Amino acid sequence: MSTDRIMGGVTGRSKVTLGETTVSLTLLKPKPLMNITGPSVAAALRHSVKAPDAMIIIHDSLSHKPKALSPKMGGSANGHNGVRSVISALRGETNFHRFRIGIGRGPGDAAEYVLAKLPLEEKLYWNGDGIGLDLICNELERITRKQLESQGVP
């Protein structure tokens, strides 16, 4: 992992095997605050995958139960300011994948809840040994397979 000034955040690049297919994967953790990540994500798109439908945004979702993974292609920001920023920076483009990670809706102020520390149970679920990472990898494999099929690659 390294800081990439062009993309505006910390990046990691690797070849990974998803199922039986080896693909190039670029991860970006934008440096700006969530609500203004759009320009960093747009820069990453221009300098890596090029096509929005090959990009996946991972973000929290108050509308989904904790530890739920809800993949989605396209659509509106559904009130998520970070996704709204990305759509704006992409000039209205919404044809990208999203992995909505459920955090539920806690008591009190939503902003305070979202910014609070993740409960230990959820940290363990999403870490390298947890079930959540397996779910994400399975979805990455499904998306990769679908894109390769659309390109005529068996």
- What are the distances in angstroms from CA 110 to CA 24, 72, 90, 114, 122? 36, 23, 27, 6, 18
Confidence label for 86 from pLDDT (cuts 50, 70 and 90): very high
What tens digit of pLDDT does each residue of 10-43 get? 888 888 887 777 888 888 888 877 888 898 889 8
- Whether the CB-CB separation of 112 and 71 falls below 8 Å is answered with no
d(CA 13, CA 28): 9
pLDDT for residue 99 = 95
What tens digit of pLDDT does each residue of 99-142 get? 999 999 988 898 899 889 989 999 999 987 889 999 998 898 88
pLDDT for residue 92 = 92
The residue whose two tokens read 């099929």 is 149
d(CA 154, CA 122): 37
d(CA 55, CA 99): 11
Percent of the chain with pLDDT over 70: 95
The full DSSP string for 83-112 is: HHHHHHHTTT---SEEEEEE----SS-HHH
Question: Which domains are present in the chain?
Answer: 2-150 (3.40.50.1470)
What tens digit of pLDDT does each residue of 65-83 get? 999 999 999 999 998 999 9
- What are the distances in angstroms from CA 133 to CA 39, 55, 99? 27, 18, 12
